């Protein structure tokens, strides 16, 4: 299990889509999401085929939120070129969490999962520059 943390405050539990299959599936087939879904190496997402609206935060390599938006079902997002990873949550979650552009978010893993750090969701250090879709990519 992983956790999203900002200003020493836990925002939510987080699922990390860290395989090609998990990235393609995203939130498809779900009717809700407890916590958040983190997609590394991602600059755009879509909500085609999803069952509920979502909040989306685009973050840079340092874990700084560069853009947030609410997306209804069956929408295509526009690439956010400064982003290197994305946080998806149920619509309205960011308002409850107080998450805004400019906030720094860290993905922390439980001891058993390994150690992630701020702006590095997979703990591998950096990004390969991939800019394929998050969510449910073809």
The residue with greater pLDDT, 111 or 101, is 101
**Global pTM exceeds 0.95:** no
Q: Determine the pLDDT at residue 114.
A: 52
Strand ranges (DSSP E) for the chain?
A: 2-6, 9-17, 36-40, 54-59, 65-71, 85-90, 106-109
Residue 21 has pLDDT above 90, yes or no: no
Q: Residues 31, 15: contact at Cβ < 8 Å?
A: no
Q: Determine the pLDDT at residue 137.
A: 38
Q: Determine the pLDDT at residue 134.
A: 39
Fold of 2-113: Jelly Rolls (2.60.120)
Mean pLDDT over 58-75 rounds to 97
Most confident of 34-43, 106-115, 128-137: 34-43
């Amino acid at each position: 299990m992983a956790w999203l943390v900002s200003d020493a405050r836990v925002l939510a539990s987080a699922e990390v889509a860290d395989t090609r299959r998990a990235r393609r599936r995203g939130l498809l087939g779900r009717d809700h999401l407890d916590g958040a879904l983190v997609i590394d190496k991602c600059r755009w997402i879509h909500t085609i085929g999803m069952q509920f609206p979502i909040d989306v935060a685009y973050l840079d390599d340092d874990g700084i939120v560069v853009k947030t938006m609410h997306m209804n079902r069956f929408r295509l997002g526009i690439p956010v070129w400064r982003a290197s990873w994305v946080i998806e949550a149920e619509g309205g979650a960011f308002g409850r969490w107080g998450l805004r552009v400019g906030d720094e978010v860290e993905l922390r893993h439980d001891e058993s999962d390994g150690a992630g750090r701020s702006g590095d969701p997979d703990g591998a250090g950096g990004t390969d520059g991939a800019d394929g879709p998050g969510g449910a990519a073809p």
